[in-house]
Amino acid sequence: MACPGAASRALALALVAVALAGVRAQGAAFEEPDYYGQELWRRGSYYEHPEREPELFSPPLHEGLGVEKQEQQEQHQQEPRPPKKAAKPKKVPKREKVVAETPPPGKNSNRKDRRSKSLEKAVRDDHGGPVAHEYVRESCPPLGLETLKITDFQLHASTAKRYGLGAHRGRLNIQAGINENDFYDGAWCAGRNDLHQWIEVDARRLTRFTGVITQGRNSLWLSDWVTSYKVMVSNDSHTWVTVKNGSGDMIFEGNSEKEIPVLNELPVPMVARYIRINPQSWFDNGNICMRMEILGCPLPDPNNYYHRRNEMTTTDDLDFKHHNYKEMRQLMKVVNEMCPNITRIYNIGKSHQGLKLYAVEISDHPGEHEVGEPEFHYIAGAHGNEVLGRELLLLLLQFLCQEYLAQNARIVRLVEETRIHILPSLNPDGYEKASEGGSELGGWSLGRWTHDGIDINNNFPDLNTLLWEAEDRQNAPRKVPNHYIAIPEWYLSENATVAMETRAVIAWMEKIPFVLGGNLQGGELVVAYPYDMVRSLWKTQEHTPTPDDHVFRWLAYSYASTHRLMTDARRRVCHTEDFQKEDGTVNGASWHTVAGSLNDFSYLHTNCFELSIYVGCDKYPHESELPEEWENNRESLIVFMEQVHRGIKGLVRDLHGKGIPNAVISVEGVNHDIRTASDGDYWRLLNPGEYVVTAKAEGFITSTKNCMVGYDMGATRCDFILSKTNLARIREIMETFGKQPVNLPARRLKLRGRKRRQRG
């Protein structure tokens, strides 16, 4: 009778033989239906044994080769290659070197059947026959290194120069801090420059890997990038299979500079849990440094509750895709046709390339300003490559229309009590350029600026300096206005460096009495409030509050606190800044100073309180990420609009009930005033409390009253009736009868002069 130990050893040997056969099949086992079962029994060894030093795997044995020839081939493959730092990729035999086809502009989101002839030849050599023409390459999205769906715990590396250059920094488009020698540097950099270095991603589930995107190190001073690399996959992080090109390891060409992303697709998809990048050559006089993104499709796993619980889904029936200019215009028309009674499409001007800057108005009486109804706006796309905000506003348009038709009480009340303006794409020229690179290959700045190279975000007139210099000036001849500061003459000249898009926004904001607005940006996850410019000279960061700092803090917090991630203390920082100490909000100047920002201009030139809302770490996320991003921001977008009804509102009228335009509304203790609109109505954003409010207008007697702001949503009504001054009444009577009022002091001086002449 055989002992149980012998039987178990025999079973173990049989399983090992099966595993070795899978390795020799060059990854064929990864495509077998029962591979998940293989993964389960291998998982035990991952926890029982410490991690071994990584090995460079030689290609498996091929049938038909003699033993002697095979041994020679193995010996040749295992010879250590000296590190070769060169600007060009490492030279290898022609049949081993494969150049990944560079995607044509605007086509990276559709990667089906996009392989070079050399890739097809590699597959033919690998399988010993021609490639079937009916094979269709599946287009897989990024795993989420850039969007932070891949956590720091899923990234590992052989070595690292220091913590700030660890594997967790090897994410596509990650940006370095101002001081690069800190915890926040711009890439993963290996501790040594040799062929045994690697960076690895644990997908935590079986995944069909289809491609790799790489970048160099983000740095102002250093030039570090990888020029060629190998790709390996594994299911237990110990046994690795190298992607092959025929009988040899496939060498992928990397980067030729540090910022432009380079995509390499695998010749055939590889199913595994782990993927590893093994640099083979790097830039001359540089180091092994890289940022990357992995393309892959996670395989369904109904038995894993963890993955099902963390998958984000949405119940909203919206168009979750990226829209080019024509598609954006068509979507607006569809929404307008669905909800013709509450929507209106108009444009505020044109871009440098002649594209119209379309906006959509949502109101129960579109096309007209209703007395007592506040005006709100959202703007997106000032930077053309920050696409997430653009798509969120297009989704918001659809959502508001659908929910209004469904009689959602909250949305109906918002639409009927607010005039909403949505401008999804302020820089359509920049977007068209960014869309050529697509969601993964555009880099950090492609399409950021207008067609004539202007950054709209800081292209507005600098009114901060005018205000602060006047306040600091000694013996000022008159009191400096704290609002409605005039735009300098030089800025209005045709020769001024002002984008057409910027001029269009200024005219738009001067025409419509906006009360509150948000401009959606990308690349971070925070809400920034003014001032955006520091007051002290020679400083780049300094907390610079406005007189309405408490109101701005509340407005910023209202968005951040209702966002799914902004105030999450466990959330990883996007790049270098941790905004959790202020609950996902930041004073713009304390972050980085910007002269001529939209936020500061709106506050100092109009009544509008404007904030910058950074909606995601990834400026241009993949289409597959849009449903989750919509869920992250949907409630915040609605809550922020509702804040336009916080504070006080009212009418300033004369004794005959006629509205007084341009009347000044002052709040005691707040050194910033606002003015009434053309019909005499006004809105003043304030936090809950009791305020002493004054209304004054030229030719009228000033009126003051106490106004209470409660905690419930809805602005407190605070109306004013002003009576004319005696001098104004005299002038009105004299003008009625065709005579001008007499200036008495001037008349006395004239009479005295006449008497002197008579005496002389």
What is the Cα–Cα distance from 260 to 552, expressed in whole angstroms?
38
pLDDT recorded at residue 598? 96
| pLDDT tens, position by position, 142-151 | 999 999 999 9
Strand 648-653 vs strand 716-717: parallel, antiparallel, or unpaired? parallel
Residue 363 included in any domain: yes
Beta carbons within 8 Å of 284's beta carbon, 6+ residues apart: 85, 86, 87
What is the Cα–Cα distance from 173 to 292, expressed in whole angstroms?
8
Query: Around 238, how many Cα atoms within 13 Å sit in the side-chain half-sphere?
Result: 15
What is the mean predicted confidence (pLDDT) over 345-352?
Answer: 96
pLDDT at 248 over 70: yes
> Using the 8-state DSSP alphabet, how is residue 142 labeled?
B
pLDDT at 661 over 90: yes
Residue 459 included in any domain: no
Q: Please report, for the domain that includes residue 635, its CATH number.
A: 3.40.630.10
| Domain co-membership, 376 together with 501 | yes
| pLDDT tens, position by position, 38-91 | 332 333 333 333 333 333 333 333 333 333 434 444 444 433 333 333 333 333
| Domain co-membership, 505 together with 396 | yes
Q: Please report, for the domain that includes residue 724, its CATH number.
A: 2.60.40.1120
Residue 505: which pLDDT band, with cuts at 50, 70 and 90? very high
| pLDDT tens, position by position, 385-409 | 999 999 999 999 999 999 999 999 9
Residue 218 included in any domain: yes
pLDDT recorded at residue 472? 84
Residue 700 included in any domain: yes
Residue 220 included in any domain: yes
pLDDT recorded at residue 738? 64
pLDDT recorded at residue 85? 35
| pLDDT tens, position by position, 725-748 | 877 667 766 666 665 555 556 667
| Domain co-membership, 652 together with 636 | no
| Domain co-membership, 523 together with 622 | yes
What is the mean predicted confidence (pLDDT) over 507-517?
Answer: 97
Give the domain range for residue 597: 325-452+483-640
Q: What does residue 277 show for φ and ψ, rounded to 5 degrees?
A: -105, 125
pLDDT at 6 over 90: no
What is the mean predicted confidence (pLDDT) over 427-454?
Answer: 92
Residue 10 included in any domain: no
pLDDT recorded at residue 470? 86
Lowest mean pLDDT among 132-146, 507-521, 582-596, 644-658: 132-146
Residue 229: which pLDDT band, with cuts at 50, 70 and 90? very high
What is the mean predicted confidence (pLDDT) over 494-499?
Answer: 92
Q: Which helix (H) or strand (E) holds 275?
A: strand 262-282
pLDDT recorded at residue 29? 35
pLDDT recorded at residue 577? 87
pLDDT at 311 over 70: no
pLDDT recorded at residue 308? 53
| pLDDT tens, position by position, 91-123 | 333 333 333 333 333 333 333 333 333 333 333
Beta carbons within 8 Å of 417's beta carbon, 6+ residues apart: 373, 645
What is the Cα–Cα distance from 608 to 599, expressed in whole angstroms?
9
pLDDT recorded at residue 753? 74
| Domain co-membership, 193 together with 170 | yes
| Domain co-membership, 496 together with 601 | yes
pLDDT recorded at residue 482? 87
Domain C-terminal end among 604, 619, 640: 640
Q: Exposure pattern of 269-280 as b/e (b: 16+ CB <10 Å)?
A: bbbbbbbbbbbb
- Give the chain's domain count: 3
| Domain co-membership, 514 together with 376 | yes
| Domain co-membership, 493 together with 624 | yes
Mean of all residue pLDDT scores within the chain: 82
By C-alpha distance, which of 236, 379, 336, 285 is closest to 87? Answer: 285
**DSSP three-state, residue 42:** helix
Lowest mean pLDDT among 79-83, 228-232, 544-548: 79-83
Q: Select the more confidently predicted residue: 512 or 316.
A: 512
Residue 630 included in any domain: yes
Q: Please report, for the domain that includes residue 230, its CATH number.
A: 2.60.120.260
pLDDT at 626 over 80: yes
| Domain co-membership, 611 together with 730 | no
| pLDDT tens, position by position, 750-759 | 777 777 777 7
Q: Give 423's strand partners.
A: 379
| Domain co-membership, 231 together with 363 | no
Residue 307: which pLDDT band, with cuts at 50, 70 and 90? low
pLDDT at 125 over 80: no
By C-alpha distance, which of 233, 177, 184 is closest to 23? Answer: 233
Residue 572: which pLDDT band, with cuts at 50, 70 and 90? confident
| Domain co-membership, 218 together with 278 | yes
Residue 742 included in any domain: no
What is the mean predicted confidence (pLDDT) over 161-167?
Answer: 93
Domain C-terminal end among 640, 673, 688: 640
What is the Cα–Cα distance from 357 to 351, expressed in whole angstroms?
7
Lowest mean pLDDT among 135-149, 172-186, 302-316, 370-384: 302-316
CB 275 within 8 A of CB 209: yes
pLDDT recorded at residue 727? 75
What is the mean predicted confidence (pLDDT) over 10-16?
Answer: 47
pLDDT recorded at residue 71? 40
| Domain co-membership, 572 together with 435 | yes
Whole-angstrom Cα Rg for the chain: 33
Domain C-terminal end among 640, 665, 699: 640
CB 192 within 8 A of CB 85: no
- Cα angle vertex 190, ends 189, 194, to 5°? 135
